[in-house]
Amino acid sequence: MKLPHHLTIKNSHLHINGLDCITLAEKYKTPLYVTSEDRVVEQFESYQKALGARYPKVQVLFAAKANGNLALMRALAQKGAGADVFSSGELHLALQAGIAPEKLLFNGSSKTPADLELAVEKGVKVSLDSLDELHQLDAIAGAAKKKVKVSFRLNPALEVPTHPKIATGLKTSKFGIPHEEIPAAYREALACKNIQPVGIHCHIGSQILEVEPFARAAEVMVRIAKELTEMGVKLEFIDLGGGLGIPYHHDTDPTPTAEDYAANVIPVFKAGMDACGITPELWVEPGRSLVADSTVLLTRVNSTKKAHKRFANVDAGFNLLIRPAMYDSYHEVIVANKADAPLNAEYTVTGPICETGDIIAPDRKLPEIAAGDIIAILDTGAYGYAMSSQYNSRPRCPEVLIHGSQAGLMRRGETVADLTAIMEHPPWQK
Ligand code: LLP
């Protein structure tokens, strides 16, 4: 199987950044998320380089929803990343990680008054999802005697090649304002005393393996940018969103890169900006393509059995990685202590959760497996831990970060005490 260069096989063991996954699993126990910081930085820099070579003003914002770990965000902050945050929690994390408020965009399709107050207090730009939200923010900013810079999230009504649950810019999608209603929305924003519309934002979907849809979205954005500029909106940024996919099927999926993205999108964008006579900042918000392949989830085989088919029962289930159960997503799996053994058996790798759907990897060609083997689930750095839960009252596992050849905890594992720490007995039980 093709592997990204931070994953290698030595002495039959899978290694990440040169560190033996089996040693890591023994030291930190399983299940265990292990992330290569170097890989994340490399992916981030590939966006900066590819876009920066073709357009003078570029800001790469990490989509914090993909991986909300503070240490990981700090590594990105130190390289100059901004962040797309989708909740007050993500906003706090991004600020704590050291990302400057001016590099943050507060997105969200259903923000609370408290979210909007926090955005105003911290001085971050807000991407508005409705006219209702515009007027709420105007009132909140007025009460705080501040003027808030905003964009609207534009719904471009584009069909994109991805799972329907993660296509976000369909005509019927819950996100954003229909593109044909966008000029009217900005007119209304211009009339608000405490609002300064300075950007436009869109996001068409996630896990998109072709670059052409992003160029189509850019076409819509530059068309609207022209209309808005003529209307008197002074555009400071245009945010084209995230969405570039990664090859989860290592040997067969296309492998679009930041370079492919930039080569297809920037010409459309630049021509559009030239036609408007403006040079706003170009913002992008990648999540998955920055962090997904940086991470392996190491899980121990508790038992194997031969029933209707052969099962390998492991200690990580959809409590730690919900993507297969939620989107039928495919993740490559490698038996990390038999990484170069012949694939002469077939197993369905199942988690420990009491649900029929708790299947990590169905019907995979793998070596003969025994209890105690360690299975690495690949490409789990995006929407892995971030979407985990404590279902079946299972404490979440730790996360380890690797920098060069150093490994360190970036989140300790939860304990049973953590499960009950926030529970209370109501007065009649005390
Ligand atoms: N910006 C906005 C406004 C978004 O809604 C998203 C993702 C991103 C950026 C980042 O997109 P990315 O570069 O990661 O594709 N949980 C799903 C993915 C949901 C994506 C939602 N929005 C999964 O595991 O596949």
Task: State the pLDDT confidence band at 240, using cuts at 50, 70 and 90.
Answer: very high
Task: State the pLDDT confidence band at 412, using cuts at 50, 70 and 90.
Answer: very high
Alpha carbon of 426 to ligand 1 centroid (Å): 38
Mean of pLDDT values over 146-160: 90
Q: Which residues pair with 200 in a beta bridge?
A: 152, 238
Mean of pLDDT values over 120-138: 98
Model pLDDT for residues 306-318, shown as the tens digit of each residue: 999 999 999 999 9
Res 165 pLDDT > 90 = no
Ligand 1 atom nearest 289 alpha carbon? 13
Instruction: Let me know if 142 is exposed, middle or buried by CB neighbors in 10 A (0-12, 13-18, 19+).
Output: middle
Mean pLDDT over each residue of the chain, to the nearest integer: 96
Supply the pLDDT for residue 234.
97
Alpha carbon of 155 to ligand 1 centroid (Å): 15
Supply the pLDDT for residue 113.
98
**Protein residue with least CA distance to atom 5, ligand 1:** 203
**Protein residue with least CA distance to atom 3, ligand 1:** 203
**Protein residue with least CA distance to atom 4, ligand 1:** 203
Res 163 pLDDT > 90 = no
Q: Which residues line ligand 1 (CB under 6 A)?
A: 63, 66, 84, 107, 166, 168, 203, 206-207, 241-243, 285-289, 323, 327, 382-383
Ligand 1 atom nearest 387 alpha carbon? 16
Supply the pLDDT for residue 170.
79
Mean of pLDDT values over 123-150: 98
Alpha carbon of 80 to ligand 1 centroid (Å): 21
Supply the pLDDT for residue 164.
83
Mean of pLDDT values over 26-33: 98
Percent above pLDDT 70 for the chain:
100
The catalytically annotated residue of 202, 276, 354, 397 is 354
Model pLDDT for residues 271-329, shown as the tens digit of each residue: 999 999 999 999 999 999 999 999 999 999 999 999 999 999 999 999 999 999 999 99
**Protein residue with least CA distance to atom 19, ligand 1:** 166
Task: State the pLDDT confidence band at 161, using cuts at 50, 70 and 90.
Answer: confident
354 is catalytic: yes
Mean of pLDDT values over 347-362: 98
Mean of pLDDT values over 88-108: 98
Res 70 pLDDT > 90 = yes
Mean of pLDDT values over 242-254: 96
Supply the pLDDT for residue 168.
81
